[in-house]
Amino acid sequence: MGVSTLVMLTFGAVALAGMPLAFALGIAALVGLLMSGVDFGVLPTRMMNAVNSFPLMSIPLFMIAGELMIKGGIMEQMISFANALIGRVRGGLAQVAVLAGSILSLVSGTAVSDAAALSSTIGPALRKVYGLGFATAVVAAAANLGPIIPPSAAMIVYAYMAGSSVSIGALFVAAIVPGVIMTCIYLVVVWWIARRRNYPMTGEPFTVRRLAHATRTSGITLLMPVLVVGGIIGGAFTATEGAAIAVSLALLIGFLVTRRLKVSDLPGVLFRAALMSGVVAAMIAFASTVTFLLTVDLLPQRLADALGALTADPLVFMLLVAVLLVVVGMFLESNAAYIMLVPLLHPIALTYGIDATHFAFTFVLNLVIGMLTPPVGVVLFVIAGMTGIRMGELVRHCLPFILAQYALLVTCILFPPVVTWLPRAVGY
């Protein structure tokens, strides 16, 4: 049995036994080192080098920014602005939730934190108007915009694992058009469902005066994502520096503008961000040794040769990877999938002549959809845990949104300019 096979079987067996994925990767790395005869000194060295990364610092910082927005009352301002923009329409409150989720995504970058934020702020009102099933599905779908709309922690992890061939800025720019399309599709899906089910009209009628007032009231809050995302895309600062700026702005707004943020809130915010980013860092650290063992065993080369013998068509390769990631996304946590699969599949995609940014975005989008699909969809678990809804009922109500995301994925694969046009237009 080859080292690659042994490592993957060990990881699968230990993970299925209930071991956290980071430690399952660590055990698989230890077994691989033992069987390959490679010096065990490789393990701590590669682990340290893997996480000693300036770009990875942006992940906990964006998480902190998202938490501060919730505690500082910034989310309420975003919801008020979205309410004024949507007006009085069928399913209006659900559309407000989608729009608020897309605005929140411009700062937080993660689906889990967005799910918690939306559930605790607009979730109760949604459940009162639409019932538990549709309300939780809307929150789950809106939260899942987090990793699609920049700045995205998932894209940062992908770019880090892929190396210099993928620019974080280019990937953020590439996500803008699909992110806007996805938000618009969600709004249409919500309107269609609300009309079919005869949900009531909510909110006040749209007026320019009301929108102008909401814009003035939320002006500084709305300026925050524009400054952060615009600065990163424009090259004024890196993703990590942008994340630090987002934290600084959230602190200033929370303390001086909304005056809802308290010093006593900060320890909890820092602890939750450290906990979540620590899990990602542990997986990256252990996975670096696993990836090293797979490379030494020539698995990437053997995989490239096998795929080359199967097809020489880049589109067929993209579709095969998409099918693989659909299955992987159902059973493996997305960060673990990026860490394990990007070093294997990204170099192969380049040999097919596929644009690196195009492949990266479709890869991320595919695994983001997996966060809404059972049995291990992490967003589903967060929403179910916070609301008490049964998993089967939640999945049933989420199906229209899941299908909409798959439609966008297929569109992005078949029509690459949807992803690549804007990065090329701005010089990436």
pLDDT for the residue numbered 419: 94
- Which helix (H) or strand (E) segment holds residue 303: the answer is helix 299-310
Q: Is the pLDDT score of 421 beyond 90? A: yes
pLDDT category of residue 63 using cuts at 50, 70 and 90: confident
Q: Is the pLDDT score of 18 beyond 80? A: no
The mean predicted confidence, pLDDT, of the chain is: 84
Highest mean predicted confidence (pLDDT) among 23-32, 299-308, 348-357: 348-357
pLDDT for the residue numbered 181: 94
How far apart CA 56 and CA 65 sit, in angstroms, is: 15
More confident residue, 285 or 322: 322
pLDDT category of residue 307 using cuts at 50, 70 and 90: confident
DSSP secondary-structure letter at 207?
-
Q: Is the peptide bond before 375 cis (omega within 30 degrees of 0)?
A: yes
Q: Is the pLDDT score of 340 beyond 70? A: yes
pLDDT in tens, 262-303: 888 889 888 888 887 787 788 778 877 777 777 777 777 777
Structure tokens at 362: 């479709």
pLDDT for the residue numbered 408: 95
Buried b (16+ CB within 10 A) or exposed e, 175-206: bbbbbebbbebbbebbbebbeeeebeebbeee
Residue 368 neighbours by CB under 8 Å, 6+ apart: 111, 144, 147, 148, 154, 334, 405
pLDDT for the residue numbered 409: 95
How far apart CA 100 and CA 32 sit, in angstroms, is: 46
pLDDT in tens, 186-222: 999 999 999 888 888 777 777 888 888 877 777 777 7
Q: Is the pLDDT score of 38 beyond 80? A: no
How far apart CA 168 and CA 31 sit, in angstroms, is: 34
pLDDT for the residue numbered 1: 58
Q: Is the pLDDT score of 138 beyond 80? A: yes
pTM (2 decimals)? 0.86
- Which helix (H) or strand (E) segment holds residue 119: the answer is helix 111-121
Crossing angle for the helix pair 356-370 and 334-351, to the nearest 10 degrees: 150
269, β-bridge pairs? none
Give the whole-number percent of the chain exceeding pLDDT 90.
21
Q: Is the pLDDT score of 124 beyond 90? A: no
